[in-house]
Amino acid sequence: MSLHLNINGDDRLSVKDPLTPLVDVLRDEFFLTGAKVVCREGFCGACTVLLDGRPVMSCLIPVGLADGCTVRTVESLASVGALSPLQQAMEQHDAVQCGMCFPGMMISLTHFLEHTPNPNRDQLKSALTGNICRCTGYERIIDAALSLAAERSSGVQRDDHGKS
Partner 1 sequence: MPMTDDRRFYVARSLPDALAALVDGGQAAVPLAGATWIMRAPIRQERQDLSYVAISRIDELRNVEILDHEIRIGACVTHAELATSLAFLPECRAIGQAAGGSANPAVRQVATIGGNLCASKFAAADLVPALMCLQAELDLETPRGPERISLEQFLQVRTSMEPGWLLRRVVVTRAACRSVHVRLPLRKAGDYPVAIVSMAAVLSTSGLVTSARVVVGSVEPAARRWKRLEADLTGCTLDAASAAEKAEKYSEDFRGRDGIEAPGWYRVKVLTSLVRRAVQAIQQES
Binding site for partner 1 (CB under 8 A): 1, 17-19, 21, 40-43, 45, 48, 54-57, 59-62, 64-65, 67, 108, 112, 125-127, 129-130, 132
Q: Judge contact between 160 and 79, C-beta under 8 A.
A: yes
Q: How far is the CB of 9 from partner 1 (least distance, A)?
A: 21
Q: Is the dihedral of CA 150, 119, 134, 86 positive or negative?
A: negative
- Please identify, using beta-carbon distances, which residue of 88 and 109 lies nearer to partner 1: 109
CA distances from 132 to 11, 83, 126, 127 (A): 31, 23, 12, 11
- Please identify, using beta-carbon distances, which residue of 18 and 137 lies nearer to partner 1: 18
Q: How far is the CB of 119 from partner 1 (least distance, A)?
A: 13
- Please identify, using beta-carbon distances, which residue of 5 and 158 lies nearer to partner 1: 5
Using alpha carbons, select from 101, 86, 54, 72 the residue that is nearest to residue 8: 72
- Tell me the C-alpha distance between 49 and 142, whole Å: 19
- Please identify, using beta-carbon distances, which residue of 11 and 41 lies nearer to partner 1: 41
- Please identify, using beta-carbon distances, which residue of 88 and 110 lies nearer to partner 1: 110
Q: How far is the CB of 92 from partner 1 (least distance, A)?
A: 25
Q: Judge contact between 73 and 81, C-beta under 8 A.
A: no
Q: How far is the CB of 130 from partner 1 (least distance, A)?
A: 3
Q: How far is the CB of 133 from partner 1 (least distance, A)?
A: 10
Strand 10-14, strand 3-7: pairing:
antiparallel
